[in-house]
Structures are given as C-alpha cells and as structure tokens.
Amino acid sequence: MGKGAMLLLLCLMFCAALMAGDKTIYDFTLNSIDGQPAPLSAYKGKVVMLVNVASRCGFTPQYTALESIYEKYQALGFVIVGIPANNFGAQEPGTNEEIKTFCSTKYNVKFPMMAKVSVKGDDKTPLYQYLTDKSANPATGGEIQWNFTKFLVGPNGQVVARFESKVTPDSPEVTSAIEKALSSAKH
C-alpha cells in the first residue's frame, strides 16, 4: 500500500472514531407504544428525560411526579419519554396495549410512551447500549440497576445527568437539573 493510501486509510479510521464519539440520542429510533417508528431526533433542541418504567414496581407511583413535572416544564421545551421494560422482577409483564391503558387510566400519563424494550442483558435495545456505555457517557454510563432510572438529556442530545430509581422526578435535585438544562437551551 502506498503512502497516500495509508494516510487516507488512517484519516478515515480517525474520522470514523471521532464520529462514533459524536453519537447522541437523536441517532436512535424506538417504536411508540402504538407500534409506530418514533425517532428520538423529533426531540432535537428539547430537554428530554428518558425513563425505564414498569407497572408493578414499588416505584410505579413515580408516574404521578413524572406527569407533574412534564406538565410543569413542557411549554418550556421539556419532554419525558417513558420506556417500558420487563428486566427487573418481571414487573412489566403486560402487552403494549395493557401498559398504555394502565398509564392513561391509573396515572393519566400524557407524555410519550414507547413500546416495551429490554434495557439490560443480551437483548438490550441499542438506545440503552448507548446510554449505559461508560466510554460514550463516562459520568452517567453503567448498567441499569432497576426500574425508573432517569436520564436527563440536554438540547444537543447528550446525556447531562442520571438519577437512580430512588430519586423522585419532582425532587429538587432533578428539577434544578431540568431547569439548568432548559436555560442552556435558550442560549
């Protein structure tokens, strides 16, 4: 291989490595709870909270606080995306239709809900492979430990904070992080 070809190959490899590091949540598409493709790029410029949810968990009442902060900050460019997963204690055994009915009737959820996925293990959905990747997200990566883990994503599609299950969505810690991310979106 000639010097020019080798240089070109090295340059291409370097560029590919750089681009891999530039991934954001906008590179992923889930399915809505109704089965339609739901590209996360639809939320460009917004502050997004991604939450793996379950209907039969001790943390399930967090739906009330999630809906409350969604309603409080929605007009400012904030969205919550609920992502049902059955990875922990089989606490989300229902079908997408059953989950949708449960969320709307029991908790009056209005924020977007996605179709059930896996957030841990060999069948982990690509979005959660990215979110939990410590090399892509050193400060917030790591395996999901339980239902209702919350990832806060800035308007540029990058994860800015992670809150574990026990941290309630309406806690000062979370709401101040949302407000900070929203203020950065205005600049």
Q: Could you give the residue numbers annotated as active site?
A: 57
172-186 and 62-73 helices, crossing angle to 10°: 30
Provide the pairing of β-strand 78-84 with 47-53: parallel
Spatial contact of 86 and 55, defined as CB atoms under 8 Å apart: no
In whole angstroms, give the CA distance from residue 160 to residue 137. Answer: 9
Specify burial of residue 38 (Cβ count, 10 A radius: 0-12, 13-18, 19+).
Answer: buried
Give me the residues paired with residue 45 across strands: none
Tell me the two tokens of residue 61: 């009442």
Radius of gyration of the chain (CA): 18
